[in-house]
């Protein structure tokens, strides 16, 4: 069996990454990798400091490696990654003016067969720790777009609400096998 295809769902806060990654995994019979940043915030009751960003990025990548290995063992064709090391690099730059993680983040983006950029067209809802405001969401989204373009990474933008968003993402994933 060939290696499972990793699909990266990337977007600013409150763009539906977790919900969509889980729905795509269910639809395609694949596996889902949760966003490590969310796990970190829940376990520590706070957002990370500047000196913790590299470890969060590494943990995200290691989780993806573990789930990809499990997918290979269990014959799954897809692994849906909620977030990506690139998102950690962007947050590190945004919050701490630290661009040191970008080179590593770019290198870690290579295993993705597809990058889905989730547009910030869903209603913004605060969640206590991770989401600052709609203004921050817009700024992070702009940085994501810029980074993907600067890396010359092909990506597909996913928009819409509820089932329309899911159907757009399903269609994008199906382009891999077309």
52 class by beta-carbon count within 10 Å (0-12 exposed, 13-18 middle, 19+ buried)? middle
Crossing angle of the two packed helices 134-150 and 85-96, in degrees rounded to 10: 120
Q: E strands, the chain, where?
A: 5-10, 31-33, 78-82, 112-118, 156-158
Predicted TM-score (pTM) of the model is 0.93
Query: Per DSSP, what are the bridge partners of residue 118?
Result: 158
pLDDT score for 129? 60
User: What is the structure's pLDDT at 122?
Assistant: 86
The pLDDT value recorded for residue 135 is: 87
pLDDT below 70 — which residues of the chain?
1, 127-131, 178
Class of domain 5-174: alpha beta
């Amino acid at each position: 069996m060939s290696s499972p295809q990793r699909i990266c769902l990337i977007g600013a806060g409150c763009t539906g990454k977790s919900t969509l990654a889980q729905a795509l995994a269910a639809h395609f019979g694949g596996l889902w990798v949760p966003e490590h940043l969310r796990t970190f915030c829940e376990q520590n009751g706070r957002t990370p400091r500047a000196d913790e960003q590299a470890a969060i990025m590494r943990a995200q990548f290691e989780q993806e490696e573990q789930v990809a290995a499990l997918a290979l063992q269990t014959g799954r064709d897809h692994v849906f990654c909620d977030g990506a090391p690139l998102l950690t690099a962007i947050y590190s730059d945004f919050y701490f003016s630290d661009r040191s993680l970008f080179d590593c983040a770019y290198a870690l983006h290579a295993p993705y067969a597809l990058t889905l950029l989730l547009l910030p067209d869903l209603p913004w809802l605060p969640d206590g720790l991770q989401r600052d405001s709609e203004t921050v969401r817009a700024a992070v989204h702009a940085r994501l777009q810029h980074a993907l373009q600067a890396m010359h990474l092909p990506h597909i933008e996913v928009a819409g609400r509820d089932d329309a968003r899911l159907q757009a993402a399903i269609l994008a994933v199906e382009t891999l096998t077309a």
